[in-house]
Chain A
Amino acid sequence: MSSSGSTTPARQLRCCGASGCRSAGSEELQAALEAARDAAGHTAQELAIKPVGCLRLCGRGPLVACDGPGGTTLYGAVPPTEAGALIEAARNDDHGSGDNGNDILQASRLDAQLPFFALQSSVVLEGCGQVDPESIDDAIAFGTYSQLRRCLHELTPEEVREQVKLSGLRGRGGGGYPTGLKWDTVALQPPGPRYVVCNADEGDPGAFMDRSVLESDPHRLLEGLAIAAYAVGADRGYVYVRAEYPLAVERLRKALQQARRAGLLGNGIDGTSFALTIEVRVGAGAYVCGEETALLQSIQGQRGMPRPRPPYPAQSGLWGAPTLINNVETIAAVPVILREGGDWYAAMGTAGSKGTKVFALSGAVTNTGLVEVPMGTTLRSVVEVIGGGVPDGTPIKAVQTGGPSGGCIPAELLDTPVDYESLMELGSMMGSGGMVVMGETTSMPEVARHFMRFSVNESCGKCVPCRAGTVQLAQLLDRFVERRASPADMAKLDALCRMVKATSLCGLGQSAPNPVLSTLRYFRHEYEAACRQPALCEQP
């Protein structure tokens, strides 16, 4: 276990150990740094090397942050061979201008003034990259669990819910349902057992926000979930994580064990009568389980098939009991909201969308990684200023938000503020927060087919519009991609999209046509050009 934060040495190296940086070789680098420190004769007290979670700029990993009296300096992709030079720089707190003669190290130094860092506001991610995700002592020293204690000792469940309502927090999984209202609905059900569930089945391709929170700051999530359980009167909870995130599962399980041992979960938490048991449930590769009613089926060991709502899970969920389901990012925002107050949180963002949102920025963009910005920030400032645009300097063609349920927003609409309503108006959606930038070379009918094939694969098969409709749509899109479509195909595509959207049972089916509809809306000429006789396809 690492040293606790209260005795943090003045100089330390924080090494990102989340999946993105791991895949870029962070473990080798950290081992090399530890060896170099020992070889140089420095003790861990003089220069600590601390494994932490996400440091945001995943595309330049493995990332290392050097803290010293002169501030923090960030390095990306330092080769393990330069570990000695980095240790010296950190030891001397001299990350100077190349005077120390190490060009490789200088080339790896990242400018803290980069808009990528400077324009971010860390609220949900405040602990990511700061705390050691595998140490509860470190998390507690950072302030985690203090809000849970405060709630248990000083606030009634009603007062907790009041703060959440005041904050204006809305569901971050994509639905955007007011969180406080959902908590009230569960809390006000007739007496009996209740459950809380954290939806960590982050299935949208191109989304990795929830994974980063789980891997970087799992104790914050547990604190948020425990507060939610207290606020709605639940004594049992589940975190449903997708199996594709083994590191997240491992760290979450470890965090649960530590919290139980520390008396922060279990019976009589912190000397009160409040009891809470939390279990991790691992998915098995079904995207549809991100839909809440399907997720509940899966937790109960069944096929993950959605059912019609109402009744909503808040009234009848796990084993027929009232069940609160919230996404990872929603729950991770709760401790901050209680610490700073609901009105503090509500002061950020727009009239209808409060607070901050975490985005996973990837695709044809210079700076790929995790971005947290206040709601209402324009898409342009996210992808062009923070993201740095397309790497070769060519213009951005479109930005895809909302994964297979969202749409492609064309470059000319990039000045739209990011909030639930604005994105919906553009035919896309907030979704969980994946944001994939597309350059000029990406063909839109191919993008639409890509998402439709995903939906074909992931349709659970329960309702016909989704099961058969997505297959038909994918076949129609094949004709466009292979340039053998006719004008009749164009009309069929449009009609079928509307049918699937209107008649599918769950959100997956209802939103499956969105990538087609939005590309048809903004890039119709590409579909027209993909017809066998383009002139016939063009609209009069």
Chain B
Amino acid sequence: MTATSPARPAASKPSLSAEEIASRKIAQVIRRHGAQPDALIEVLHQVQEIHGYLPKQALDQVARQLRMPLSRVYGVASFYHLFTLEPPTPHRCAVCLGTACFVKGGADVAARLEQRLGVKLDDPAGNGIWAVQHVSCLGACGQAPVLVVDGVLVTKLPIDQPEALDAVLESTGMPAAGAVPA
């Protein structure tokens, strides 16, 4: 915590900490929505864009400024799958397990990733650097099976050819099996 930070340059200059900047941005978002309680989900989307996840102090701020109990903010934040309450790992991978991808071997892709990265599917902590989660359809059914590595969609994975599949995964910047400390 940075409650006491004597080492920091004197506060005489108007330089703001990252936390303060984020908090001002959030206040701005809330104002833009007229502080209406029905805008909660929209606000949380934008808070997550600012922080990469929903930190406790941001939820506090949202509750205060939308004038609603923290329990309601937390209830909504924890209900929806796209909101995360923990900071994300630096690298993330989403494997599609929609029906079309499932028929074309999406589950095998997931198993391969678990093995390669030493992670468990849908464990947000992953191996500390990489985490793999499932998604239930990216709508790229025509290109199945697909996965998303750090925001980049990788299509038509050659699930029947392990070496070709490894080469594709390699090209996404994913470390080889055993390369990541457990």
Contacts and interface: CB of A to CB of B under 8 A. Distances in A.
Interface stretch (A37-45, A139-147, A277-285): A277-285
B139 A286 contact: no
B22 interface: no
B100 A363 contact: yes
Contacts of A245: 139
B41 A298 contact: yes
Interface stretch (A3-11, A17-25, A82-90, A307-315): A17-25
Contacts of B42: 281-282, 301
B142 A285 contact: no
B143 A363 contact: no
B169 interface: no
A400 B139 contact: no
A205 B155 contact: no
A300 interface: yes
A363 to B, nearest CB: 4
A208 B143 CA distance: 13
A460 B78 CA distance: 11
Contacts of B100: 205-206, 362-363, 368, 436
Interface stretch (B23-31, B130-138, B172-180): B130-138
A450 B140 contact: no
18 contacts: A20-B142, A20-B143, A23-B153, A58-B142, A205-B137, A244-B135, A282-B41, A283-B41, A285-B81, A298-B41, A301-B38, A301-B39, A362-B99, A362-B144, A364-B103, A403-B99, A450-B97, A450-B107
B141 A206 contact: yes
A281 B41 contact: yes
Interface of B: 36-42, 44-45, 75-76, 79-83, 97-100, 102-104, 107, 135-144, 146, 153, 155
Contact of B76 (A285, A301, A434, A451): A301
A303 interface: yes
A311 B99 CA distance: 34
B141 A360 contact: yes
A120 to B, nearest CB: 16
Contact of B142 (A61, A244, A403): A61
Contact of A23 (B41, B75, B107, B143): B143
Interface in A20-50: 20, 23-24
Contact of B81 (A24, A284, A438): A284
B80 A436 contact: no
B80 A208 contact: no
B43 to A, nearest CB: 8
Interface-centre pick from A23, A24, A298, A458 (highest chain B CB count, 10 A): A23
Interface of A: 19-20, 23-24, 58-59, 61, 203-208, 211, 243-245, 281-287, 298-304, 360, 362-364, 368-369, 400, 403, 434, 436-439, 442, 447, 450-451, 454, 457-458, 460
A457 B144 contact: no
Given A363-B99, A436-B100, A438-B103, A244 B139 contact: yes
B5 to A, nearest CB: 35
Given A58-B142, A304-B79, A363-B103, A243 B135 contact: no
Nearest to A288: B79
Contacts of A302: 40, 76
Contact of A59 (B38, B80, B82, B142): B142
Given A362-B142, A362-B144, A442-B103, 17 more contacts: A23-B143, A23-B155, A59-B143, A205-B98, A205-B99, A282-B42, A283-B41, A283-B80, A301-B42, A301-B76, A304-B79, A362-B100, A364-B103, A368-B141, A436-B99, A436-B141, A450-B107
Contacts of B153: 23
A21 to B, nearest CB: 9
B132 to A, nearest CB: 15
B82 A20 contact: no
Interface-centre pick from B107, B142, B153 (highest chain A CB count, 10 A): B142
A279 B99 CA distance: 31
B80 A285 contact: yes
B52 to A, nearest CB: 15
B82 A285 contact: yes
B45 A282 contact: yes
Contact of A58 (B44, B103, B136, B141): B141
Nearest to A208: B139
Contacts of A362: 99-100, 141-142, 144
A400 B142 contact: no
A362 B106 CA distance: 14
Nearest to A363: B103
Contacts of A364: 103-104
Contacts of B102: 205, 447, 450
A20 B103 contact: no
Contacts of A447: 102
Nearest to A212: B139
Nearest to A61: B142
A211 B140 CA distance: 11
A165 to B, nearest CB: 33
B83 A284 contact: yes
